[in-house]
Amino acid sequence: MIYLFCGLFGGAVLVAICKPLFSQDDTLESAIIEETAWDLLQRKKEIILGNIQDLDFEHKCGKLSDEDYQKIRGEMAGEVSLVLEEIDGIESSQDLDALIRHEVSVRKSGSHEPEPALCPSCGEKNIATSKFCAECGAKLIG
Ligand SMILES: [Zn+2]
Give the distance (Å) from ligand 1 centre to CA of residue 109. 29
Where in the chain does DSSP place strands (E)? 117-118, 125-126
Query: Consecutive 10-residue runs of the chain (142 residues): their mean pLDDT?
Result: 62 60 53 67 94 95 93 95 90 75 72 78 90 92 68
Backbone angles phi, psi at 37, to 5 degrees: -60, -35
80 contact partners, CB below 8 Å, separation of at least 6: 45, 48, 49, 52
Residue 135 CB neighbour total at 10 angstroms? 13
**129 C-alpha vs ligand 1 centroid, how far in Å?**
14
> Pick from 8, 20, 10: which is nearest to 64 by CA?
10
Cα of 112 from ligand 1 centre, angstroms = 24
What pTM was estimated for this model as a whole?
0.44
